[in-house]
Amino acid sequence: MTYFDLNLNLTDEDKAIRDAAHKFAKEVMRPIGIELDRMSAEETVAASSPIWGFLKQAYELGYHKGAFPAEVGGLGFTPFQSHLMMEELFWGSTGLAATLLLATWPYVKILHTMDMDLIGEFVTPFCQCTDASITGCWAVTEPDHGSDTLNPAGDFWTDPKIKMQISAKPDGDEWVLNGQKSAWVSCGPTASHALVNVHLDTTKGMAGGGVCVLPLDLPGITRGKALEKHGARDLPQGELFFDNVRIPKRWMFAGPEGYGDWVIGNLGFGNTGVSVGAVGLARAGFEETLAYAKERVQGGKPLIEHYSMKVRIHRMFAKVEAMRAMSRAVWEVNARAFPPLSEYAYAAKTFCTETAVEVIDEGLQIHGANGLTKEYYIEKLWRDARSLTIADGESSVLNCLGGHILKDTFPRTSVNLIM
């Protein structure tokens, strides 16, 4: 259905972008997402998997480069247009939309460096790609480290006894990487390139980290099996192993100096993106539930005719609209702010993902026992929603980080905007 938009200033171009994305989400993504959800993890990344067809179609339509400027081959969407597009894609499939968003991540971060050599080497080819042969992932999570790798406010951050599980050592004009990233690396089984957080200076603890970009077909890189999991099964995840992997020093674009600020800034962009995913997911759950309530008859009349059901449905609706408003506002600011307003990103991510869980859980409850069966889409949405409160930083860690920032920045009086 065409979803009414409270923003009455949508241009014809805005509407065209939104409507085209919705059509693609409905006709391509939703069916493929359901198919992948019912396959084994290994089947989802096999050569015969429909995930490759999805990616190819998405790249042909330019959905991987919508937010990139025309100067590097992107479509030059405004931040608002990018949000419109991504909300529709997440409405279609949480996992597939996340796959597409993560495919862009190394190239987004390289673009932020303003290093024209790196941009020419990695970003321009990515934007020119039309067959999905160039995709990305962010390899940060490790077997023994999860949200702590994202928490510069933690009292452990500078403890030299705490080390990442992948290190990079200098050797002439190269870095040599050794170690492992965990099975939770989203798009680890499918990406052609990776943004990798590594340990450069172990005397500084986690604060001695660095960030590099590299193709995943280099000698010494192997991948583990795709991860079997409960939710977001249409988002492939898996381990990455590095055994004396050599990269040129120019590919290491962040180091210990300011590494904590880099992590906070990266989360500022990433968490804003997760909030959009939560909006699309919750909206899908609300629409599924409203349609079900109109059809399901109990006590001689459709559920929606019962007083209590009208109250519950409207509360779901209100929560979705509140999520959309917050996510849009933060997305538009952080697409232009440098550094991003991370406390707002953390607030948007935690609020939107936790509210999505509330909305979807209520939707499943309204479905009754039917909601527990795979016959009804709400069951998949329920599993997907639960995964979002952990992805890209567990909620309590992000709230701690947000509070850490607020103690020094609130109230803000200015922001540096890139127009």
Looking at the structure, tell me whether residues 42 and 111 fall in a common domain.
yes
User: 65, 95, 128: which is the final residue of a domain?
Assistant: 128
Looking at the structure, tell me whether residues 149 and 83 fall in a common domain.
no
Looking at the structure, tell me whether residues 163 and 221 fall in a common domain.
yes
**How does residue 411 score in pLDDT terms, banded at 50, 70 and 90?**
confident
Looking at the structure, tell me whether residues 48 and 73 fall in a common domain.
yes
Looking at the structure, tell me whether residues 201 and 292 fall in a common domain.
no
Contact 319, 356 (CB under 8 A): no
Given a cut of 90, whether residue 139 has pLDDT beyond it is yes
CA dihedral 203, 207, 212, 218 (to 10 degrees): 50
Looking at the structure, tell me whether residues 289 and 170 fall in a common domain.
no
* Position 299 in a domain: yes
Nearest by Cα to 211 from 256, 174, 243: 256
Portion of the chain with pLDDT greater than 70, in percent = 99
* Position 402 in a domain: yes
Neighbour count for residue 171 (Cβ, 10 Å): 11
Q: Regarding predicted confidence, which is higher, 336 or 303?
A: 303
* Domain coverage including residue 317: 261-409
Q: What is the mean pLDDT of residues 5-15?
A: 94
pLDDT for residue 2: 61
* Position 357 in a domain: yes
Q: What is the mean pLDDT of residues 179-193?
A: 97
Q: Mutual orientation of helices 30-37 and 51-60 as an angle, nearest 10°?
A: 160
Instruction: Quote the CA–CA distance of 224 and 242 in Å, as a whole number.
Output: 11
**How does residue 150 score in pLDDT terms, banded at 50, 70 and 90?**
confident
CATH number of the domain that 403 lies in? 1.20.140.10
User: 201, 235, 254: which is the final residue of a domain?
Assistant: 254
pTM for the full predicted model? 0.95
Given a cut of 80, whether residue 1 has pLDDT beyond it is no
Nearest by Cα to 341 from 418, 254, 262, 265: 265
Looking at the structure, tell me whether residues 16 and 109 fall in a common domain.
yes
Looking at the structure, tell me whether residues 96 and 145 fall in a common domain.
no
Q: What is the mean pLDDT of residues 284-291?
A: 98
Q: Which residues pair with 255 in a beta bridge?
A: none
* Position 3 in a domain: no
* Position 265 in a domain: yes
CATH number of the domain that 58 lies in? 1.10.540.10
CATH number of the domain that 182 lies in? 2.40.110.10
Q: How many domains does the chain have?
A: 3
Given a cut of 70, whether residue 369 has pLDDT beyond it is yes
Looking at the structure, tell me whether residues 267 and 366 fall in a common domain.
yes
Looking at the structure, tell me whether residues 284 and 397 fall in a common domain.
yes
Instruction: Quote the CA–CA distance of 244 and 317 in Å, as a whole number.
Output: 53
Given a cut of 60, whether residue 62 has pLDDT beyond it is yes
**How does residue 55 score in pLDDT terms, banded at 50, 70 and 90?**
very high
In whole numbers, what is the pLDDT of the chain averaged over residues?
A: 95
Q: What is the mean pLDDT of residues 315-321?
A: 98
Q: What is the pLDDT of residues 259-275, one digit of tens each?
A: 999 998 888 889 999 99
